[in-house]
Amino acid sequence: MPKFNCYSCNPPDCEDLTECQGAYKCWKSRVREVSGDEQVARGCTTNADQVAFYCAPGETESAQAFQKEGALYKIECCSEEFCNNGTFPELPVATFIDFYEEEIGVKHYVLLALAVICPVAIALLIFGVAFGAMRQRHRQRISRLLLLAGAPDDFSYKDDIKATAAGDSTLREIFEHSVSSGSGSGAPLLIQRTLGKQISLNECVGKGRYGEVWRGRWNGESVAVKIFFSKDEASWNRETEEFVREECPVVVMAPTGLAAHSIKGVTIHRCLSLPVDQQTTAKYSSLSAEQLLTLRKTLGRTRLFIIDEISMVSSLMLMYIHLRLTEIKSTNFPMGNANFVLFGDFLQLRPVSANPPFIPLTRLEIRNRLGSMGSFNLWHEFEYDELTINMRQKNDEPYADTLANIRLGNCEEQHLQCLSRRKFGCMSRATSEEITQLYCNLFKEGKVPVILMPTNDDCRLINNILLKETSSKHVTLTAIDCLSSVVRNKRIEEEAAKSVSSFADDCKRTAGALTTLVLSIGARVMLQRNIAMDKGLVNGSMGYVKEFKSSPSGEIVSVWVQFDGQDQLTSIGRATVRFEALKEVYYTRKQFPLQLAFAITIHKSQGLSLECAIVDAVSRCFGPGMIYVALSRVTTSAGLHLVELDPSKIIADMEAISEYNRLRKSITSEELSNDFNSLNLDQKRIVDRIIGNLKNGSNDKPIRLIVSGFGGTGKSRVISVLRRFICQEFVREECPVVVMAPTGLAAHSIKGVTIHRCLSLPVDQQKTAKYSSLSTEQLLTLRKTLGRTRLFIIDEISMVSSLMLMYIHLRLTEIKSTNFPMGNANFVLFGDFLQLRPVSANPPFIPLTRLEIRNRLGSMGSFNLWHEFEYDELTINMRQKNDKPYADTLANIRLGNCEEQHLQCLSTRKFGCMSRATSEEITKLYCNLCKEGKVPVILMPTNDDCRLINNTLLKETSSKHVTLTAIDCLSSVVRNKRIEEEAAKSVSSFADDCKRTAGALTTLVLSIGARVMLQRNIAVDKGLVNGSMGYVKEFKSIPSGEIVSVWYNLMVKIS
């Protein structure tokens, strides 16, 4: 079959023609969609098997139109060179409307009705069954509560209580709903209810706003009983305040037994009956009726809850505390509406395998652990204060200063010198033998040293060596394992046994119980379970083994330990733990809850104050804050002995630092007042207008305001004050105001984020990106973050195109689930349209073109968002307020006016001998300004001018020039060798045009001291944004000599 060359173009307009070679058939087509839109296309068939798919046998220009899925098609095929040129085939008058009318009959309407009615009926049935079941469970629960309170089974109030002229009584309802009654006797709730049921109430003699007074009989005597409707009434509080005995006015808690014992408190799990993690994070479960009554009696009137070591409490645990308190206090307010004070340092270690409390819960945690669809951020309910005086190292100020810097991740030369003096050993790292010898020497001096190591493997090695140093016989204690689940399948039982055998070296899989424990008299051990918190026998307590007790058969039944701070020996027997061997197949293990503790991990040491510690601050320290925690355990540097120190591992938790910075920005009313008073009259008017509208406005008329003004009128200052006012006004909301800008540099200058990052908008690469909707996960994330935002602020609006403004509108309608303009959100836009326009795009006040609407939005039409906004203006120049002639010149140049006095003002600033300064004169002036300590920036109109000056100044640097060549790689799968070669040639032709390569240069020449600019946003919060400038300080290479990183100092100030 012969082959031809054809024309090819894409729908809908078929504008850009290309050639298609080696075709069996050429074709052109016209399609009319159901909506009436028509599309045309040209193409070819290069596969002989597909000819019949496009063209019927013998089909020519007289081909007939045909219908498919409601659309009308007409395809003309031909077999000559470029024969598919010319006009497109014409379609007859559409007949596919009849097709729909024939197909849609009564049957379809019946099916549609059934499709709507059936699900609704099923849903109503399910709801009815669920409602009935919940009512039955509610009655049963009330019956159980009455039974627990001591009410007899046949108890009824109908015969005892009769209403009189005082009005209908609500007493029975009060009793049924467990609302307390009494006259302020001070007895606990259950005793009051028991006494109340022994009284025979005869008649109601009075009824008021807060309760009723009844005449009754009790033990043969006539009594008056006052019954309150609610404990929350002021009358109740007034009459019972002096009689109520507070059983537990303050509760002090901590996440671990050791931390709880050090503050004479209890663990959070024990206090609030929270689930304990075993292998995986435990799921929250509500209390039984009996547990709930007990906790209400104990904690119901607690005035203050204190939690220490809050850095070790995860965000999920904080949510569990909130849920438990809402149960106990019978309220939905955050943290049960109780008073809470949290103590801790977030620059110490994080919770193990969990997020710290200031990081919101993940969707997975919310779904799997809470069984909920959503949550809220408890952390923002707390205010912040800080202790700054170091008491532990107060007698060693140089060491205290070193620790303060290491805590923030800073370690300068003087800090390293302070620490290096505490190293021991002959080599850079002390050997195991030297560690053992130092431990023994310190022990002989009467000290109690603790060795802190980064990992369990390091601890195991040192513990085994020191165990050998003990003179007494070693005793091996083997765990006793037993299958606790009922398994009827022999194969599963064998697999479970094999699985348990594989856990021999991993006690995390066996609830912390060791498979084999080797001890001896004199061995240093740590308790692994809370036994008696009041006596200090908690998880983490350390001591020395003194004796083993055996049964008549010779089996060890108890280990007697002398714990630190205890006068008497403590007998430790086997403890039973339960763990999962296979899915839903459980084993129980009996083992002594002890482990060797000559050396312990740094994680175990958090919360301890030690007189003497041997610390291994090696490269295996894997987490931020580890070295700080280890070094800060000792009270003075004299008690510190360093095995090794790796300065590169002295790192701080940057998320924690960011959170501290956020907390420290808590604004007082006085500070806000000072901020507002520092504004000029023009700026105050704008702030008053926006804040007033925000407080008094409604969803019917959201704020839409454009604030303009020439450069230097203080638009950034107004944005800063607005942000602080709104954050203070809506302090409980997670994100009340969002500040955005179109570029990273502009966003950083106002402490905001880029529009693209904030709203997950597509980024342009070579050409304008097409709008795309969010995925379900992205949409849920943005709704959680921005769903309740009160005000959106965009700075540098002149750099935002009309298409980008439409993208912002579309994204906000997605997030807010509304079709109103800009998602019906409040918007304030700042900018000056007499500055530069958006690159290769129209400013926002110019409507979208038909081409943009069709190609970028995929729509048939649009509307003008710009007309939704009102206008205001700043007129007072603050930037050049001390140079009025220059300010006047700028104001005129902004409007395109340049008179003689303005030219004279500017001509005084010219330099050079000629009318235009030469490249050499520019270079010389730049170098002179640098020598004066200034940081000059040369601004040129074109990239070519910049390239010339940059190359000239690069030669002025004294260091060697380094050429960095781009590494290009074909990322698409191309099976045609010719196309691959053409692509390589095309890339080679881009050598001098970085616009075609997404801004990446083909060749970059640098040197030490060269002035550079960042071309990508790396970390907006740190000022590492597109446009940040600095000086090259160092090149890092790999052994092969290839440069892998460039180190430079930023010009941007970072707080």
Q: How far apart are CA 51 and CA 43, in angstroms?
A: 12
Q: What's the pLDDT at 56? A: 64
| Number of compact structural domains in the chain | 6
Residues with Cβ within 8 Å of residue 615, at least 6 apart in sequence: 451, 452, 630, 631, 633, 640, 641, 642, 643
Q: How far apart are CA 1027 and CA 819, in angstroms?
A: 36
**Pair 270, 226 in one domain:** no
Strand order of the β-sheet with 1043-1050 is 1011-1013, 1029-1037, 1043-1050
| Confidence label for 231 from pLDDT (cuts 50, 70 and 90) | low
CATH number, domain of 23, equals 2.10.60.10
Residues 113-153 have pLDDT tens digits of 888 888 889 999 998 999 888 888 877 766 665 554 444 44
Burial zone of 311 (CB within 10 Å; 0-12 exposed, 13-18 middle, 19+ buried):
buried
**Pair 323, 222 in one domain:** no
Cβ–Cβ under 8 Å, residues 317 and 276: no
**pLDDT, mean of residues 199-221:** 75
Helix (H, G, I), strand (E, B) or coil at 1047: strand
| Confidence label for 324 from pLDDT (cuts 50, 70 and 90) | very high
Residues 427-457 have pLDDT tens digits of 778 888 888 889 899 888 888 889 998 888 8
Cβ–Cβ under 8 Å, residues 745 and 1025: yes
**pLDDT, mean of residues 715-742:** 83
Residue positions counted in the chain = 1055
Per-residue pLDDT at 156 exceeds 60: no
The DSSP output letter for 706 is E
Q: What's the pLDDT at 872? A: 92
- Residue whose token pair is 């996440």: 255
Share of the chain above pLDDT 70, in %: 85
| Cα 1053 from chain centre | 25
Per-residue pLDDT at 236 exceeds 80: no
Q: How far apart are CA 218 and CA 197, in angstroms?
A: 10
- For 831-937, strand residue ranges (E) read 870-873
Per-residue pLDDT at 9 exceeds 50: yes
CATH number, domain of 188, equals 3.30.200.20
For residue 77, list its beta bridge partners.
Answer: 27
- Asked whether residue 194 is domain-assigned, the answer is yes
Amino acid identity of residue 46, one-letter, is T
**pLDDT, mean of residues 553-578:** 89
Helix (H, G, I), strand (E, B) or coil at 357: coil
Residues 388-406 have pLDDT tens digits of 777 777 778 888 888 888 8
Cβ–Cβ under 8 Å, residues 561 and 519: no
| Confidence label for 815 from pLDDT (cuts 50, 70 and 90) | very high
Q: What's the pLDDT at 432? A: 85
Q: What's the pLDDT at 1001? A: 86
| Confidence label for 913 from pLDDT (cuts 50, 70 and 90) | confident
**pLDDT, mean of residues 220-234:** 69
Phi, psi of 557 (to 5 degrees): -110, -20
Longest dimension (CA), the chain: 120
User: If DSSP states are collapsed to H, E and C, what string results for 832-863?
Assistant: CCCCCCCCCCCCCCCCCCHHHHHHHCCCCCCC
Residues with Cβ within 8 Å of residue 92, at least 6 apart in sequence: 65
Q: Poorest-confidence range of 460-469, 503-512, 837-846? A: 503-512
**Pair 724, 807 in one domain:** yes
| Cα 100 from chain centre | 51
**Pair 236, 270 in one domain:** no
**pLDDT, mean of residues 477-487:** 86
- Asked whether residue 459 is domain-assigned, the answer is no
| Confidence label for 305 from pLDDT (cuts 50, 70 and 90) | very high
Per-residue pLDDT at 707 exceeds 80: yes
- Asked whether residue 392 is domain-assigned, the answer is no
Q: Poorest-confidence range of 450-464, 580-594, 783-797, 874-888? A: 874-888
Per-residue pLDDT at 194 exceeds 60: no
Per-residue pLDDT at 189 exceeds 60: no
**Pair 180, 323 in one domain:** no
Residues with Cβ within 8 Å of residue 123, at least 6 apart in sequence: none
**Pair 679, 773 in one domain:** yes
The DSSP output letter for 769 is P
Instruction: Say which residue, 765 or 460, is predicted with more confidence.
Output: 460
Distances (CA, A) of 1019 to 158, 746, 762: 72, 14, 19
User: How many of the other CB atoms lie within 10 Å of CB of 729?
Assistant: 15
Cβ–Cβ under 8 Å, residues 541 and 531: no
Q: How far apart are CA 804 and CA 768, in angstroms?
A: 10
| Confidence label for 813 from pLDDT (cuts 50, 70 and 90) | very high
- pLDDT averaged over every residue in the chain: 81
Q: How far apart are CA 364 and CA 373, in angstroms?
A: 10
Residues 828-867 have pLDDT tens digits of 999 998 888 888 889 999 998 888 888 888 777 788 889 9
**Pair 59, 205 in one domain:** no
Share of the chain above pLDDT 90, in %: 13
CATH number, domain of 712, equals 3.40.50.300
Helix (H, G, I), strand (E, B) or coil at 467: helix
Q: What tokens appear for 881 in the block?
A: 């307020």
- Asked whether residue 143 is domain-assigned, the answer is no
Q: What's the pLDDT at 904? A: 86
H or E stretch covering 38: strand 38-45
Cβ–Cβ under 8 Å, residues 477 and 525: no
- Asked whether residue 434 is domain-assigned, the answer is no
Q: What's the pLDDT at 153? A: 41
Per-residue pLDDT at 341 exceeds 90: yes
The DSSP bridge pattern shows strands 25-32 and 71-78 to be: antiparallel
Helix (H, G, I), strand (E, B) or coil at 295: helix
Phi, psi of 1028 (to 5 degrees): -65, 140
| Confidence label for 320 from pLDDT (cuts 50, 70 and 90) | very high
- Residue whose token pair is 């809506």: 730
Q: How far apart are CA 565 and CA 573, in angstroms?
A: 20
The pTM is what? Answer: 0.50
Q: What tokens appear for 1054 in the block?
A: 């970072």
Q: What's the pLDDT at 998? A: 77
How would you classify residue 354: left for phi > 0, otherwise alpha for psi between -120 and 50, otherwise beta? beta
How would you classify residue 766: left for phi > 0, otherwise alpha for psi between -120 and 50, otherwise beta? left
Q: How far apart are CA 519 and CA 560, in angstroms?
A: 12
Residues with Cβ within 8 Å of residue 939, at least 6 apart in sequence: none
Cβ–Cβ under 8 Å, residues 657 and 1055: no
| Cα 658 from chain centre | 12
- Asked whether residue 608 is domain-assigned, the answer is no
Which of 559, 574, 595 finishes a domain? Answer: 595
**Pair 851, 935 in one domain:** no
Per-residue pLDDT at 23 exceeds 90: no
Distances (CA, A) of 529 to 382, 572, 866: 32, 10, 67
Q: What's the pLDDT at 184? A: 35
Range picked from 67-76, 519-528, 617-626, 974-983 for highest mean pLDDT = 519-528
**Pair 797, 721 in one domain:** yes
- Asked whether residue 152 is domain-assigned, the answer is no
- Asked whether residue 15 is domain-assigned, the answer is yes
Residues 862-903 have pLDDT tens digits of 888 899 999 999 888 877 777 888 888 888 888 888 888 888
Amino acid identity of residue 905, one-letter, is C
**Pair 581, 478 in one domain:** yes
- 974 is in which domain, residue-wise? 919-1050
Burial zone of 811 (CB within 10 Å; 0-12 exposed, 13-18 middle, 19+ buried):
buried
Which of 326, 357, 381 finishes a domain? Answer: 381
Instruction: Say which residue, 15 or 1030, is predicted with more confidence.
Output: 1030
Which of 873, 902, 929 finishes a domain? Answer: 873
Q: What tokens appear for 7 in the block?
A: 């024309």
Per-residue pLDDT at 175 exceeds 50: no
**Pair 215, 342 in one domain:** no
H or E stretch covering 828: strand 827-830
H or E stretch covering 478: strand 474-478
Instruction: Say which residue, 239 or 182, is predicted with more confidence.
Output: 239
Q: What's the pLDDT at 198? A: 65
**Pair 268, 230 in one domain:** no
CA dihedral 952, 953, 957, 962 (to 10 degrees): -70
| Confidence label for 1047 from pLDDT (cuts 50, 70 and 90) | low
Amino acid identity of residue 430, one-letter, is A
Q: What's the pLDDT at 512? A: 79
Distances (CA, A) of 1035 to 398, 960, 961, 1011: 34, 11, 11, 14
Q: How far apart are CA 629 and CA 613, in angstroms?
A: 12
Q: What's the pLDDT at 827? A: 95
Question: CA angle 1005-1006-1007, nearest 5°?
Answer: 140
Per-residue pLDDT at 197 exceeds 70: no
Per-residue pLDDT at 494 exceeds 80: yes
